[in-house]
Chains A and B, each alone.
Chain A
């Protein structure tokens, strides 16, 4: 693989490129699915090809091919160089890359038990075990639709660039996805999507305790449907569970602090950002809010040790005690803003250019137990999990609709409530955090960005947090 990547880089340089990089990447994917107790097709995907990126006269070009003979690689590199040159007349300032220490390394996420060695029938057995645990006699509720999906992905990549970096990376990832629909006569339906995923081997199956997770989710849906009442109106205090804290950190901290968005590179697709480069050092939240993005968390779904520009990964503190401290950079944005790259450049496959992505984004825990957080609320809402969410393309106006949610009365969790709506601005939300829990939990997600779309594996996480004086949306508005 490395030899082919080096051939592409050398060929680009011979064509006049001032910078070239190439990555040969293989992705192996297998998916096993049970739908309402019967098997869906086992599907297999294989991707192997070369992607190369060049800078020619200050203009950037990317090209890929999945034909790995040298003639095809030449055609791809020539295409990258030619199209970059052709676009030069409409390029603004010449692209520069930040100066970084070059790397020569092999890295991997280790598998104690190689999932490729596990026979397919054993993978189905895992799904059938979950399926059995979801029987009505176990969960006490009707689940007319149960989708259980087990996905394994193995990425192997060899990267070289014209500045001397040389890397080999190997990442196995296992995912388990549930989609459960619960139905209760006279009460309608509720749905739950849960995604557990890690970068490790088959040993994760024992770690997850997935039967219990599925059982608890199913019982929760039944309870919410049967007992859920309308959410309160007016101003309340809220406890947001780890799952909600995690999505908040991802959507309204991680995304707006991606420097490519801030510089307008994603304006026509994923959008821009309410944050400007000059806002570093500015307060955006209370002193309890510290948000970290860390690619190096062992076993995490967003794990990597070197990014796809060859820069060594490390944790990034995006917000520290309420102050915006760091943006997510690749080498291009780092050069433009005169800082160093913090290794946020990732690509999902050989045929995608590397772009700025989050890895594992979470709020730093403090010292409160959940009980202590709840004790501090006279009348409020505990939104433990969510289903619907979205945020505007400047990452300012966001909405989370609760799934498992409860009233809090006199410092105690009480009645289930259905679909409470938190619709709030980013500073309004982070500025209202007055206490942060100590139990850190993560959820898995696939983050969408880029054109063509690139799904990036990430973790979102945090402890439960308490936010004060929130006015719930609470369903449809009345006529204007």
Chain B
């Protein structure tokens, strides 16, 4: 890394942020109560972000050939010479910095786990079947990583961590299914039995669903649904998406964007946080960032580029992303503060409404206005007189993100970590009661 930074400097580049990640990942996938495939990945990848006179370039080289890395950097430096100027001149964060270690990010047992993943699959399948599931599918993924960041501005640091994530989907019949999730940074926090039990229980409750009816409902969202929607909140709070015109929080900092009940932060320093890191990819120390406080949007997330453009403070949110911009601001651990209610309280407050346990395929008609829809998936239940009654199916949530955020009436005290195929950013979230949620169905 030192050689990369010094050689890029010699080529005339003003500022360089170099990163190196080594990861070891394992996955076991299963369906119909049987394992279908095991996966194992060993990857080393350097990343380089270059900046000169407001011009930027970036590369990710997943190829272990130092000459190729050198060639690519030389090519990028030449490209920068003919690249049109960017819109903002900025500096990378000036180091050196002291990084404080975050407890609970690395578990040696998890880093070496192999047969434990197969055991977890068996445990989850058995737990689901015990609840009444006939077919159980899912995935368990372990991730061990170490990273090193070095910048031309004397920021230098390294950290490492482990994660384990499991999704279990249980079926009693074809249209009666449920999902359970377990997520943690150590085997001690990991509970495949509970993930299997949750999936099986929801599937059992969802048997014999009837067609749901369109309308506006009071809806209790399970943590998986809320995490999916809050990921869009996290994306929209990135100054990058604001800058692209793809955020429903455009021009809304210090404005009310949600109900008073909603306080949310992105905490990259959370102990045991699945997305926690000590320094961002520009070498700036990470911190807890209050995104929404009692319904008011407090800030966007920033890199040094967006902070300069928006005249804002750094938030330690820089994340290297190969593709459009190289370095973008991104949330790492989204945390929604819990309320003081039980799940039963939320049903009682709703009186008549719906309880939605899962969703997928969230798509926007307009990213700026926040008009979107998403498909309700797995157990959906009617609430009558404050109690869960019959399961329903065939519903789509069709609404507006800001309207949903502003209609949150109450939150549960209980919270759960969520990440799965449809939720990229690890999210710690309670259950929520939201009023007036638009629900649509197929017309033919």
Contacts and interface: CB of A to CB of B under 8 A. Distances in A.
Interface of A: 26, 29, 31, 33, 35-36, 38-49, 59-68, 72, 75-76, 79-80, 82-84, 86-87, 89-92, 119-121, 124, 128, 144-145, 147, 149, 179, 181, 188-191, 263-272, 351, 353, 387-394, 397-399, 401, 419, 421, 423-425, 428-429, 432, 451-453, 469-473, 476-480
Given A43-B326, A423-B441, A90 B64 contact: no
Contact of A35 (B34, B75, B244, B394): B244
Contact of B365 (A79, A351, A419, A478): A419
B323 A43 contact: yes
Interface stretch (B335-343, B355-363, B407-415): B355-363
Contacts of A181: 245, 368
Contacts of A419: 365, 371
Given A388-B365, A389-B363, A264 B32 contact: yes
A128 B28 CA distance: 47
| Among B38, B45, B114, residue most surrounded by chain A Cβ atoms (within 10 Å) | B38
A451 B361 contact: no
A65 to B, nearest CB: 5
B84 A388 contact: no
Given A267-B135, A390-B373, A390-B374, 12 more contacts: A41-B57, A42-B56, A43-B324, A44-B57, A44-B59, A46-B72, A48-B65, A62-B37, A64-B43, A66-B43, A83-B26, A388-B365
A147 B244 contact: yes
A77 to B, nearest CB: 10
B213 interface: yes
Contact of A42 (B61, B80, B366): B80
Given A429-B444, A471-B443, A189 B366 contact: yes
Nearest to A41: B56
B112 interface: no
A268 B165 CA distance: 13
A397 B38 contact: no
A329 B122 CA distance: 28
Interface stretch (B166-174, B262-270, B279-287): B166-174
Contact of A423 (B30, B55, B442): B442
Interface stretch (B185-193, B214-222, B227-235, B311-319): B214-222
B439 interface: yes
Given A60-B36, A419-B365, A476 B438 contact: yes
Contact of B444 (A47, A75, A424, A479): A424
Contacts of B377: 271, 392-393
Contacts of A68: 64
B396 A390 contact: yes
A353 B56 contact: no
B324 A66 contact: no
B252 interface: no
Contacts of B324: 31, 33, 40, 43, 149
Top 5 A-B residue pairs of the complex, sorted by shortest distance between their CB atoms? A145-B245, A480-B215, A92-B34, A428-B444, A267-B137
| Among B42, B371, B372, residue most surrounded by chain A Cβ atoms (within 10 Å) | B42
Chain B interface size band reads: 35 or more
Contacts of B443: 423-424, 428, 470-473
Contact of B366 (A90, A190, A269): A190
B1 interface: no
Interface in B163-183: 167-169, 171, 174, 179
Contact of A61 (B37, B49, B366): B37
A477 B72 CA distance: 54
Interface in B116-132: 118, 121-122, 125
B385 interface: no
Contacts of A393: 360-361, 375, 377
A64 B41 contact: yes
B440 interface: yes
Nearest to B179: A268
Given A44-B72, A48-B63, A191-B367, A264 B135 contact: yes
20 contacts: A44-B58, A48-B63, A63-B41, A90-B30, A145-B244, A179-B244, A268-B421, A388-B365, A390-B361, A391-B375, A393-B360, A393-B377, A399-B398, A399-B442, A419-B371, A424-B442, A429-B444, A477-B215, A477-B438, A478-B215
B62 A66 contact: yes
Contacts of A451: 27, 29, 139, 421
A268 B83 contact: no
A200 to B, nearest CB: 22
Contacts of B38: 59-62, 80, 83-84, 86-87
| Among B84, B326, B372, B399, residue most surrounded by chain A Cβ atoms (within 10 Å) | B84
A215 B401 CA distance: 30
Contact of B64 (A35, A66, A478): A66
B56 A40 contact: yes
B85 interface: yes
A39 B83 contact: yes
A92 B32 contact: yes
A31 B374 CA distance: 30
A451 B139 CA distance: 8
A452 B142 CA distance: 12
Given A41-B57, A264-B32, A189 B138 contact: no
Nearest to B245: A145
| Among B216, B362, B366, residue most surrounded by chain A Cβ atoms (within 10 Å) | B366
Contacts of A83: 26, 28, 38-40, 114
A39 B79 contact: no
Contact of A46 (B55, B59, B245): B59
Interface in B1-41: 26-41
Contacts of B72: 44, 46
B70 to A, nearest CB: 12
A89 B398 contact: no
B390 to A, nearest CB: 15
Contact of B325 (A43, A263, A472): A43
Nearest to B38: A83
A121 B167 contact: no
Nearest to B60: A45
Given A478-B216, A479-B216, A387 B322 contact: no
Nearest to B305: A41
B349 to A, nearest CB: 17
A144 B121 CA distance: 50
Given A46-B60, A390-B362, A479-B216, A267 B31 contact: yes
Nearest to A266: B31
A265 B245 contact: no
B76 A87 contact: no
Given A67-B44, A145-B245, A477-B215, A267 B35 contact: no
Nearest to A191: B366
A366 B436 CA distance: 45
A267 B121 CA distance: 15
Contacts of A47: 62-63
B376 to A, nearest CB: 8
A61 B40 contact: yes
